[in-house]
Amino acid sequence: MIIEKYLHDTAQYEAKTSARTAEGKTVYSTATTIACRKEGSSKVVSKISGLENKEVKATSVYYTLLKINEEDMLDGRLVIDAREYKGRNGTIEGYESYV
């Protein structure tokens, strides 16, 4: 994959689990270090929560080979948008996650 040669950074990745604490808070997996590319971003992400449409501002984007899901954590920050990163021929090259 072409994206591999640009992954010069690392991030601490924590996957959201289905478990909850006694207080009802989300439990995350133990942090692991993954290769990535970090870039500053100024993207407004629209999210539908219940019946409300909320806009959240992302300040960073992470490019990875590992599939990251919304509500996972990167460097202790909540992932608010996650999507496939496709190459010119339409194949999945990696993933981009906004925090």
Per-residue pLDDT, 48: 58
pTM recorded for the entire structure = 0.84
Beta-sheet strands, E only, within the chain: 9-14, 16-20, 26-28, 32-49, 52-64, 73-74, 77-78, 81-86, 92-98
Q: Buried b vs exposed e over 2-28: b needs ≥16 C-beta within 10 Å? A: ebeeebeeebebbebeeeeeeeeeeeb
Maximum separation of any 2 CA atoms in the chain, in Å: 47
Domain map (residue ranges) of the chain: 2-98
State pLDDT tens for residues 27-82.
Answer: 999 999 999 999 998 778 776 555 566 778 888 999 999 999 999 999 999 999 99
Assign a CATH topology to domain 2-98.
Thrombin, subunit H (2.40.10)
> Phi and psi for 51 in degrees, rounded to 5?
-105, 0
